């Protein structure tokens, strides 16, 4: 068996690589600057080691907020420059303003310029290297897909859209028909009895089984797969690969006995986790309502000029265990917006007022929902609460939809930060996939990830 495989970094490995070398390059740059120039602000010693820890922490947090570790952004030279400027500037500013944990402010302002340029140039040079070499075609992961030919195009696009470095270069039809035309560039039709030969000669790293018809896996194909597995070729089930790459559950390929495919996170019943989460929700809600009081005069003026109507509106939403509750929001639409019945809000919906659009983009319209969080109807993080009318409509055509109600709905969530807009049943399916992923993997670390991504959503003006 030919072991000459292409080098490939998995999604998690690439993120660790980016985060680790961001810090290494910055620290090396600061050391070089302090050695060559008269730079005394940041020095390395055993007595101030915590300066390094704080700087690394700030780089990680602000790099996450400004999407330095978004793989689509990291692979784009122009987008990453914007992220580097924002990350460097914010890191330096916050580092200078926290002298209890960082060096005392320098008397010579030139020291600040040295500090900023060292961080900025270190990040820039490392990321240019990453884009030119590590994000190039030389690090693509070549895979073969075994599935029914009717599913082929949808399955390939689902994987490759999630990770541009993941390439399905071959396909084995599990329907039994070996020869037919496929209209997919870069993907060839492989005869079932030639699978092992093709893998041996084409640097294949992984075989993905997506066939829902077990009879399509013939004895000959099965024996070849076993032999390939014995020779170090990774063989995975499609839903496993899809979940790892997209970070959502492919419910359209999961049968009705869904509990076999995604056991729910233990955090959903962990009383300590739930208690800590509830305490954090109360603290955040009180802070949110306090901030809301400060911006309320601005909202009152904007509502008077731009909305010309009631400031608040109350609407029924479905909460945990299917219980209906009343949600509070600032009004963003014209009066009698649903005179002809309930409909999905669409992109550039004419019913949304200009000031209402501003509030939606900045998420200001959701500040009153901190009241719902204090009452316990909602959490900070969870699936977005939907209206009973739409829940009934979607549940009739979409399996597992009401499964999202096993936890409290949230002000923000995994679906909200990963899928910015949805105005159809198809969009609801994508959001459901993200919601179920959160329910399956719910943890304090995923909650922190969502919180950071929420800041990115607000800062980059991506609200609905």
pLDDT of the residue at 325: 95
pLDDT of the residue at 121: 96
Determine the Cα–Cα distance for residues 265 and 375; give it in Å rounded to an integer.
Answer: 25
pLDDT tens digit at each of 464 positions of the chain: 544 555 566 667 778 889 999 999 999 999 999 888 888 888 888 778 888 999 999 999 999 888 888 877 777 778 889 899 999 999 999 999 888 888 888 878 888 899 999 999 999 999 998 888 777 666 678 899 988 877 788 888 878 777 777 888 888 887 766 555 666 777 888 888 888 889 988 888 899 988 766 666 788 888 898 999 888 888 988 888 888 888 888 876 665 555 555 667 777 888 899 999 999 999 999 999 999 999 999 888 888 887 777 888 888 999 999 999 999 998 887 776 665 555 666 666 678 888 888 888 888 888 999 999 999 999 999 999 998 988 888 888 877 788 889 999 999 999 988 886 666 777 888 888 899 899 989 999 899 989 988 888 777 766 55
pLDDT of the residue at 91: 94
Q: Measure Cα distances from 206 to 5, 90, 236 in Å.
A: 10, 41, 7
pLDDT of the residue at 180: 58
Give the residue extent of every domain in the chain: 11-134, 140-246, 266-459
Note every long-range contact of 337-346, with CB atoms under 8 Å and residues 24 or more positions apart, other chains counting. 342/387, 342/389, 342/390, 344/390, 344/422, 344/423, 344/424, 345/423, 345/464, 346/423
Q: How much is the pTM?
A: 0.81
| Cβ contacts of 162 within 8 Å, gap of 6 or more | 242, 245, 246
Pick the CATH number of 140-246 from 3.40.710.10, 3.40.50.11060, 3.40.630.10, 3.90.180.10: 3.40.50.11060
350, burial (CB in 10 Å: exposed 0-12, middle 13-18, buried 19+): exposed
């Amino acid at each position: 068996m030919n072991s000459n495989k292409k080098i490939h970094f998995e999604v998690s490995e690439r993120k660790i690589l980016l985060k680790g070398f961001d810090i290494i390059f910055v620290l090396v740059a600061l050391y070089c600057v302090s050695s060559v120039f008269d730079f005394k602000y940041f020095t390395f010693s055993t007595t101030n080691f915590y300066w390094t820890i704080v700087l690394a922490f700030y780089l990680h947090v602000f790099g996450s907020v400004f999407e330095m570790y978004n793989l689509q952004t990291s692979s784009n030279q122009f987008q990453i420059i914007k992220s580097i400027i924002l990350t460097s500037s914010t890191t330096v500013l916050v580092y200078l303003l926290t002298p209890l944990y960082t060096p005392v402010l320098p008397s010579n302002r030139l020291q600040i310029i040295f500090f900023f340029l060292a961080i900025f140039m270190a990040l820039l040079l490392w990321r240019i290297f990453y884009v030119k070499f590590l994000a190039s075609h030389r690090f693509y992961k070549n895979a073969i897909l075994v599935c029914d030919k009717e599913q082929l195009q949808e399955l390939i696009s689902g994987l490759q859209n999630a990770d541009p470095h993941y390439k399905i270069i071959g396909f084995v039809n599990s329907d039994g028909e070996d020869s037919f035309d496929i209209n997919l560039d870069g993907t060839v039709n492989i005869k079932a009895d030639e699978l092992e030969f093709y893998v041996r000669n084409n640097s294949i790293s992984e075989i993905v089984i997506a066939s829902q018809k077990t009879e399509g896996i013939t004895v000959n194909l099965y024996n070849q797969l076993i032999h390939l597995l014995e020779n170090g070729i990774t063989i995975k089930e499609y839903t496993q690969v899809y979940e790892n790459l997209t970070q959502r559950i492919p419910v359209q390929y999961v049968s009705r006995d869904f509990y076999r495919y995604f056991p729910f996170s233990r955090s959903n019943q962990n009383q300590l986790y739930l208690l800590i989460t509830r305490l954090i929700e109360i603290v955040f809600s009180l802070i949110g309502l306090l901030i809301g009081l400060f911006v309320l005069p601005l909202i009152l003026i904007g509502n008077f000029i731009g909305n010309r109507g009631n400031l608040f509106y109350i609407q029924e939403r479905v909460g945990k265990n299917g219980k209906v509750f009343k949600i509070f929001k600032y009004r963003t639409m014209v009066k009698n917006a649903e005179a002809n019945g309930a409909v999905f809000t669409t992109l550039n919906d004419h019913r949304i007022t200009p000031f209402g659009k501003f509030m939606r983009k900045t998420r200001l319209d959701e500040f009153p929902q901190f009241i719902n969080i204090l009452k316990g109807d909602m959490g900070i993080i969870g699936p977005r609460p939907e209206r009973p009318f739409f829940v009934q409509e979607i549940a009739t055509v979409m399996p597992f939809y009401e499964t999202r109600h096993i936890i409290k709905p949230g002000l923000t969530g995994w679906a909200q930060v990963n899928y910015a807009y949805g105005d159809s049943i198809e969009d609801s399916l994508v959001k459901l996939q993200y919601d179920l992923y959160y329910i399956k993997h719910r943890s304090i670390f995923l909650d922190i990830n969502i919180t950071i991504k929420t800041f990115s959503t607000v800062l980059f003006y991506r609200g609905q």
